[in-house]
Amino acid sequence: MSKMIIKNASELVTCKGKSPKHGKEMSDIGIVKNGAVVIEDGRITDVGTTEDILQRYKENDFKILDASNKAVLPGFIDSHTHFIFGGYRADEFSWRLRGDSYMDIMNRGGGIVSTVKSTKEASLEELISNGKKRLDSMIGFGVTTVEGKSGYGLDLDTEIKQLEAMASLQKTHPVDIAPTFLGPHAVPKEYKGREDEFIDFQIEKVLPVVAEKNLAEFADIFCEKNVFSIGQSRKFLKKAAEYGLKSKIHADEIVQLGGAELAAELGAVSADHLLQASDKGIKAMAESGVISTLLPATAFCLKEEYARGRYMIDKGCAVALATDLNPGSCFTNSIPLIISLAALYMRMNIEEIITALTINAAAAVNRVDTIGSIEKGKKADIIILEYPSINFLPYHAGVNIVETVIKDGKIII
């Protein structure tokens, strides 16, 4: 049946809006007590209290889902991941535990370059198969849309192979995928000291093929000391924009380089990581509307200070949260972990956290007009918790409490 009513929700969290929420607005998540949602042909057609909805619709005409004593929310959106890759780096995690820094590991051939080797060796079929398993895990946590980056090829063939794996999964998996071309993710050994030439290679040889094959919506670059400079990042992202790719940027993760300011200058969709973002950069992001995508599990796994989420919100930023699932610095796709870290260590309240995982995350993947909230006209991407209140999300620390996942109006879990 393509018609459904979810009724009797103890808390129906609408997150209503067609634009990201900034600053204090992030606490307004539009809770409807004893709420109900009408779904027809994969879209939300009505929202209100159960009493009002059942006065307007005949229950016999719909599949009925009783959400008594349960909270109902928009599907979560994981707006920064690297979920297509080959190989693993469990040994590096142990090295970090004994005190080796992320940059030390990179400098001796580990890190991103290690995954590049494994991804080059993996077949397209292997990338698709492993990617499917990761998407299956994500949907179990209530994720209905995910952003996925390339960046573990650094060459033409492997970058295209990663993006083609995502394109294949987009056709076969219920989770929607927003693909990002991250060709300048690290400097290959053969280009050490010739970073400008590597940027030119990405611009002249890889970018045109990505665009021609229509394999990506976004372009991204690791703007960081000893990786790619502000000037190199500006050059790459401006050229990508000429090919129709919207800008994202790995910004100010390890040192304060000015990536946040560059994101504001370019009108990027999002600036991500931001552990070292300056006050000036934060102000610029707030004023320009750049989504500040924070990745607390990466700081947690690297034992670094967390990004200043509380400060960013207080200064008017639109903050999103994401997992940064990747095989090196953050091998987790746990939404419950993200919620716990944001609540306990980034001083975000649960309303802000939900906004950051729904409507603001939708803006970070340029889909705020179709997903991220429960309101008329949007896709019916909805999750139901096993408990009656959103306060159980941080309270039941680190535990997945998503009971039902509805994607495009169909019950997936």
- % helix, strand, coil for the chain, step of 5: 40, 20, 40
| CATH number for the domain formed by residue range(s) 3-74+372-411 | 2.30.40.10
Find how far residue 69's CA is from the centre of its chain. Answer: 29
Q: Is 68 helix (H, G, I), strand (E, B) or coil?
A: strand
Angle separating helix axes 124-140 and 156-172, nearest 10 degrees: 50
DSSP annotation string for 99-160: T--HHHHHHTT-THHHHHHHHHHS-HHHHHHHHHHHHHHHHHTTEEEEEEE--S--SHHHHH
Question: Which of 297, 242, 299 is closest to 275 using CA atoms?
Answer: 299
Give pLDDT < 50 ranges for the chain: none
| H helix runs in 176-229, sequence order | 195-201, 207-212
Whole-number pLDDT of residue 13: 98
Query: What is the enclosing helix (H) or strand (E) of 76?
Result: strand 76-78
Q: Which residues contact 200 (CB under 8 A, 6 or more apart)?
A: none
Boundaries of every domain in the chain: 3-74+372-411, 77-364
> Are the beta carbons of 185 and 199 closer than 8 angstroms?
no
Q: How far apart are CA 68 and CA 251, in angstroms?
A: 43
CATH code matching the domain that covers 77-364, chosen among 3.40.50.10610, 3.40.30.10, 3.30.230.10, 3.20.20.140: 3.20.20.140
Q: Is 354 helix (H, G, I), strand (E, B) or coil?
A: helix
Q: Is 277 helix (H, G, I), strand (E, B) or coil?
A: coil
Whole-number pLDDT of residue 1: 58
Q: Which residues contact 27 (CB under 8 A, 6 or more apart)?
A: 349, 351, 352, 355
pLDDT digits (tens, 9 = 90+) for 347-405: 999 999 999 999 999 999 999 999 999 999 999 999 999 999 999 999 999 999 999 99
